[in-house]
């Protein structure tokens, strides 16, 4: 059986101070608190710029021993036309200190703009640049693509050959990929509603729990509640964790 991780994007979000974090909790302790209520967190700040090695070490040390972070790769690598030219950005990212997370480093998410269309040669070149191992540890990669042109069997076949996951997105305006292409599944859920205390209604949470258990028969699973009514993300993640515990 694979491992199932359920979490949120980031941990610094002011509205959570009225809905998730207890009154009086300092911002410096928010990661400590969040990491004990969800089982994974997607680090988004790395998408916008390099973080310091000391920050990765601090995040590693503030979280439980069995905690896992996924990390968003830099936009400088994905937001360009010629993906074969992304090599230097990818190298700088892995040299920036992300490996200081140690055993808590999970998948690396590479998110492409909604305007990026599928081009087999272009994406094959990008996949060839992704390192499979650094400092003796295996690396996992996942791509989030948002243009309808990726609904092409050759794209799934390309990803399968490289053993790179395609993010499964639960959103109205993005293509959804249900066919696993790697040894793990990575889902980003974006339909949380603010008028639902748990973000997703009980029936929807039950359906996602069932899907997670099915995937976990042969793969690790990472599920993140992202965007939508972000204020409900922690409640949604905790509700799904509770369902999976029974």
In the chain, where the domains are located: 4-244
Q: How far apart are CA 18 and CA 16, in angstroms?
A: 5
DSSP state of 233: H
* 141-144 and 105-111 strand pairing: parallel
CA dihedral for 156, 85, 107, 32, sign (positive or negative): negative
pLDDT confidence of residue 4: 98
In DSSP notation, 150-166 reads: G--HHHHHHHHHHT-EE
Per-residue pLDDT of the chain (246 residues; tens, 9 = 90+): 999 999 999 999 999 999 999 999 999 999 999 999 999 999 999 999 999 999 999 999 999 999 999 999 999 999 999 999 999 999 999 999 999 999 999 999 999 999 999 999 999 999 999 999 999 999 999 999 999 999 999 999 999 999 999 999 999 888 888 889 999 999 999 999 999 999 999 999 999 999 999 999 999 999 999 988 999 999 999 999 999 998
Crossing angle of helices 202-215 and 233-244, rounded to 10°: 60
pTM assigned to the model? 0.97
Q: How far apart are CA 102 and CA 119, in angstroms?
A: 34
Tens of pLDDT, residues 175-192: 888 889 999 999 999 999
Tell me if the domain spanning 4-244 has CATH number 3.30.70.360: no
């Amino acid at each position: 059986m694979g491992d199932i991780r359920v979490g949120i994007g980031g941990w610094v979000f002011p509205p959570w101070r009225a809905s998730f974090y207890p009154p009086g909790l300092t911002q410096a302790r928010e990661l400590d608190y969040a990491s004990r209520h969800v089982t994974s967190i997607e680090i988004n700040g790395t998408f916008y710029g390099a973080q310091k090695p000391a920050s990765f070490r601090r995040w590693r040390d503030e979280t439980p021993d069995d905690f896992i972070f996924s990390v968003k790769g830099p936009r400088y690598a994905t937001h360009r036309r010629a993906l074969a030219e992304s090599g230097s950005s990818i190298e700088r990212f892995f040299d920036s200190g992300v490996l200081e997370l140690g055993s808590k480093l999970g998948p690396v998410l590479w998110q492409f703009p909604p305007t990026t269309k599928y081009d087999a040669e272009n994406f094959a070149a990008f996949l060839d640049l992704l390192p499979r191992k650094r400092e003796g540890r295996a690396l996992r990669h996942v791509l989030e693509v948002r243009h309808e042109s990726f609904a092409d069997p050759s794209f799934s076949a390309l990803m399968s050959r490289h053993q790179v996951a395609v993010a499964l997105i639960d959103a109205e305006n993005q293509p959804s990929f249900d066919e696993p292409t790697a040894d793990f599944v990575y889902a980003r859920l974006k339909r949380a509603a603010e008028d639902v205390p748990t973000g997703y209604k009980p029936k929807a949470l039950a359906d996602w729990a069932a899907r997670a258990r099915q995937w976990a028969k042969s793969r690790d699973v990472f599920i993140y509640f992202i965007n939508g009514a972000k204020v409900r993300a922690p409640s949604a993640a905790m509700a799904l964790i509770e369902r999976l515990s029974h």
